Amino acid sequence: MEKKKIITKRNIGIGIIVFLVLLQFVPVDKSKPPTDESKTFFTMTDPPIKVQRMINDGCMDCHSHEVTYPWYTNVAPVSLWIAGHIRNGRKKINFSTWGDYTSSKQRHHIEECIEVLEENRMPAFSYKVMHSEAKYSEADKQYLIDWFESLN
């Protein structure tokens, strides 16, 4: 009797679809952690509106508790990938818990912010693809850098 092939293109296709469907059931935590408004970066540094807007547009979705989730963040594996960004971004710098950092840690984080802006490492590239408002002009970027510098 002829042996039936299991690994066919068709079966691989079905396998991928089943995997993607099952992946939708992996829970993604989108809850907003409790936030003490008196400890947020904006409350503590009182930036001009333009700076607030730039940080809101380009940084807060990954570095704070103030996250706006576009529709595609409901679809795995994108949802899992983005949740990872937010988890790692917050771990590095969390603008919602700014007041919990020591003042030397705050100064260090501000230095880092200047560095990543100067080197165009942030806002993250993949983020800019989906968020045109996070593509700062050179002049705006310099404005933001100058403002960060004025803090330290």
Residues of the shown chain interacting with ligand HEC in the complex, contacts defined by CB under 6 A:
58-59, 61-63, 85, 88-89, 92-93, 112-113, 116, 122-124, 127
| CB nearer to ligand HEC: pick between 76 and 95 | 95
| CB nearer to ligand HEC: pick between 22 and 92 | 92
Q: What are phi and psi of 110, to 5 degrees?
A: -65, -40
Least distance (Å) between residue 77 CB and ligand HEC: 15
Least distance (Å) between residue 89 CB and ligand HEC: 3
Residue-wise DSSP of 31-92: PPPP--GGGSHHHHH---HHHHHHHHHHTHHHHSS-----GGGGSTTHHHHHHHHHHHHHHH
| CB nearer to ligand HEC: pick between 19 and 72 | 72
Residues 66 and 60: beta-carbon distance below 8 Å: yes
